[in-house]
Amino acid sequence: GFCTRSVRLFKALDRNRRVTAAPFQKSGTPASVGLTVEECEASAWAIASDGSRYRGAEAVNALVAAALGTAVPLLLYYLPGIRQVQNFIYSLIASNRSRLPGDQPYCTQHPAECR
Digit-coded pLDDT (tens) for 69-96: 899 999 999 999 999 999 999 999 888 7
Q: Which of 113, 114, 93 is nearest to 2 (CA)?
A: 93
Q: Provide the pLDDT confidence category of residue 7 given band limits of 50, 70 and 90.
A: low
Q: Which of 114, 108, 22, 25 is nearest to 59 (CA)?
A: 22
Which 8-state DSSP code applies to residue 28? T
**Whole-number CA gyration radius for the chain:** 14
pTM greater than 0.85:
no
- Considering the chain, what is the average pLDDT of its residues? 81
Q: For residue 22, what pLDDT is reported?
A: 77
- H/E element, 111: none
CA distance 4 to 10: 10
**For residue 33, pLDDT beyond 50:** yes
CA distance 66 to 48: 9
Q: For residue 4, what pLDDT is reported?
A: 40
